[in-house]
């Protein structure tokens, strides 16, 4: 088995087991949602024909980009890396393009699980290293890691970039950060932990290494800039991906105050609203508590990264997709995996499994937008 200190990759047993169990669980929940819709009328029809099952919600967008290219302005908000392998096999048909998107997402999920296990072991010890892959793949929002979303690829690039940064492997970190910038808009935020790590021991650093550190800091923005330059050349405006994302039915603004969304959550608790709105009242303080643990137990680079991602997650109207955005802050998962009391681990496991079941069924029944 590959050493945790080495770079040659073979997934650890915990990562592989968590990956297999989580795929089986999501498939079962997908079947349950289909049964509830067919026999009991639970849920709604998909927004677009064929946008169900593995290709529910954003997965359908990535499949369409892979099969057709960026044929509609709304597609530009999805950065290209996850769809690119599907685009390469698009001449073989839509099925091949969609299958490639799913393969990328699911292989990325395994790489992510293994990477977070290694990272948690490095920073927090053996127990955290064993539990982190399970919490990464079995949590309320983790069903999207089975679908054709970009989250799994972004998370895999993020954890391995952190491993490279902590080992001062600046060239590897730069390459991974560049790809992250091509994966999701929030991939640009990897510049923050790279900057924090690059400042460590900078005064005693040779000039050549200073340049390598600077490249690691700039790599994620450069990856995002590469896509925006293509958008500029193809559509005449490099900011279109962000302008599209700020439409009224999406984010509506780069950042908004979540007070109104939390107010709707309180109304839902009182019985006048949707269940998902009420769940935000649990998710927001839970993430805040885990963030405090990140600040206390992990180096500053993790704190900076988690803080930036939580600000983005909270800054959405209606707290739309909050769970998915918040759990992209994988340092939260790392500190949760390091909880010592057995009772805390049991409660964490119950919350994760229950949340995964509930959110999955709601999403596959088109009642919740992940």
Model pLDDT, residue 41: 78
Q: How remote is the C-alpha of 291 from its chain's centroid?
A: 17
Pinpoint the alpha helices (H) of 54-125: 58-68, 84-88, 94-124
Model pLDDT, residue 302: 97
Taking the C-alpha atoms of residue 261 and residue 247, their distance in angstroms, rounded to an integer, is 17
Please, which pLDDT band fits residue 5 given cuts at 50, 70 and 90?
A: very low
Q: Is the pTM of this model over 0.95?
A: no
Among 204-208, 278-282, 342-346, the range scoring the smallest mean pLDDT is: 278-282
- Integer-rounded Cα Rg, in Å, for the chain is 20
Q: Would you say residue 278 has pLDDT above 70?
A: no
Per-residue pLDDT reduced to its tens digit, 36-94: 988 877 877 766 666 678 888 889 999 999 999 999 888 999 999 999 999 999 999 99
Taking the C-alpha atoms of residue 136 and residue 112, their distance in angstroms, rounded to an integer, is 8
Taking the C-alpha atoms of residue 244 and residue 215, their distance in angstroms, rounded to an integer, is 30
Taking the C-alpha atoms of residue 247 and residue 323, their distance in angstroms, rounded to an integer, is 21
Q: Residue 72 region, left (φ>0) first, then alpha (ψ -120 to 50), else beta?
A: beta
Q: How many CA atoms lie within 13 A of 17 on its CB side?
A: 9
Taking the C-alpha atoms of residue 202 and residue 234, their distance in angstroms, rounded to an integer, is 40
Taking the C-alpha atoms of residue 121 and residue 114, their distance in angstroms, rounded to an integer, is 11
3-state secondary structure of 12: coil
Other C-beta atoms closer than 10 Å to the C-beta of 13 total: 12
Other C-beta atoms closer than 10 Å to the C-beta of 245 total: 17
DSSP summary character for residue 329: -
Taking the C-alpha atoms of residue 114 and residue 76, their distance in angstroms, rounded to an integer, is 31
Q: Residue 368 region, left (φ>0) first, then alpha (ψ -120 to 50), else beta?
A: beta
Mean pLDDT of the 226-248 span: 88
Give yes or no for a contact between 140 and 180, defined as CB atoms under 8 angstroms apart. no
Per-residue pLDDT reduced to its tens digit, 296-322: 999 999 999 999 999 988 877 767 778
Taking the C-alpha atoms of residue 75 and residue 79, their distance in angstroms, rounded to an integer, is 9
Per-residue pLDDT reduced to its tens digit, 160-204: 999 999 999 999 999 999 999 999 999 999 999 999 999 998 888
Mean pLDDT of the 116-144 span: 95
Q: Residue 198 region, left (φ>0) first, then alpha (ψ -120 to 50), else beta?
A: alpha
Model pLDDT, residue 158: 97
Average pLDDT along the chain = 87
Phi, psi of 34, deg, nearest 5: -65, -40
List of residues 6+ apart from 4 with CB closer than 8 A: 118, 121, 122, 129
Model pLDDT, residue 4: 44
Instruction: Single out the residue of 301, 79, 359 nearest to residue 168, CA to CA.
Output: 301
Model pLDDT, residue 78: 94
Give yes or no for a contact between 74 and 249, defined as CB atoms under 8 angstroms apart. no
Counting DSSP H helices and E strands in the chain, the numbers are 16, 0
DSSP summary character for residue 269: H
Taking the C-alpha atoms of residue 115 and residue 132, their distance in angstroms, rounded to an integer, is 9
In this prediction, what percent of the chain has a pLDDT beyond 90? 59
Going 324 to 21 to 81 to 115, the CA torsion angle's sign is positive
Domain residue spans of the chain: 13-153+342-370, 168-236, 252-338
Q: How remote is the C-alpha of 33 from its chain's centroid?
A: 23
Taking the C-alpha atoms of residue 331 and residue 321, their distance in angstroms, rounded to an integer, is 19
Which H or E run includes 349? helix 342-364
Q: Would you say residue 245 has pLDDT above 80?
A: no
Per-residue pLDDT reduced to its tens digit, 79-121: 999 999 999 999 999 999 999 999 999 999 999 999 999 999 9
Please, which pLDDT band fits residue 135 given cuts at 50, 70 and 90?
A: very high
């Amino acid at each position: 088995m590959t050493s945790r200190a080495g770079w040659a990759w073979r997934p650890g047993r915990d990562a592989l087991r968590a990956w297999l169990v989580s795929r089986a669980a999501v498939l079962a929940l997908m079947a349950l949602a289909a049964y509830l819709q067919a026999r009991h009328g639970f849920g709604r029809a998909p927004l677009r024909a064929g946008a169900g099952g593995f290709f529910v919600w954003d997965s359908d967008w990535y499949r369409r980009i892979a099969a057709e290219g960026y044929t509609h302005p709304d597609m530009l908000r999805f950065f290209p890396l996850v769809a690119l392998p599907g685009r390469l096999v698009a001449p073989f048909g839509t099925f091949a393009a969609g299958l490639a998107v799913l393969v990328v997402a699911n292989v990325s999920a395994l790489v992510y699980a293994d990477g977070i296990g290694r990272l948690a072991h490095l920073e927090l010890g053996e127990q955290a290293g064993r539990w982190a892959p399970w919490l990464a793949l079995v949590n309320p929002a983790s069903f999207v890691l089975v679908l054709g979303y970009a989250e799994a690829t972004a998370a895999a690039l993020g954890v391995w970039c952190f491993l490279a940064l902590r080992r001062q492997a600046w060239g590897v970190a730069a390459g991974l950060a560049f790809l992250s910038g091509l994966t999701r808009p929030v991939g640009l935020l990897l510049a923050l932990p790279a900057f924090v790590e690059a400042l460590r021991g900078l005064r005693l650093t040779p000039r050549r290494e200073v340049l390598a550190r600077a490249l690691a800091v700039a790599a994620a923005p450069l990856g995002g800039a590469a896509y925006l330059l293509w958008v500029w050349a193809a559509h005449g405006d490099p900011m279109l991906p962000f302008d599209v994302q700020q439409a009224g039915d999406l984010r509506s603004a780069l950042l908004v105050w979540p007070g109104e969304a939390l107010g709707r959550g309180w109304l839902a608790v009182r019985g006048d609203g949707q269940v998902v709105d009420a769940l935000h009242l649990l998710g927001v303080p839970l993430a805040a508590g885990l963030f405090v643990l990140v600040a206390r137990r992990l180096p500053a680079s993790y704190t900076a990264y988690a803080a930036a991602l939580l600000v983005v997650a909270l800054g959405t109207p209606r707290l739309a997709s909050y769970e998915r955005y918040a759990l992209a802050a994988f340092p939260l998962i790392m500190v949760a995996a390091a909880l010592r009391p057995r009772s805390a681990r049991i409660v964490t496991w119950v919350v994760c499994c229950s949340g995964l079941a509930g959110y999955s069924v709601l999403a596959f029944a088109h009642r919740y937008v992940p």
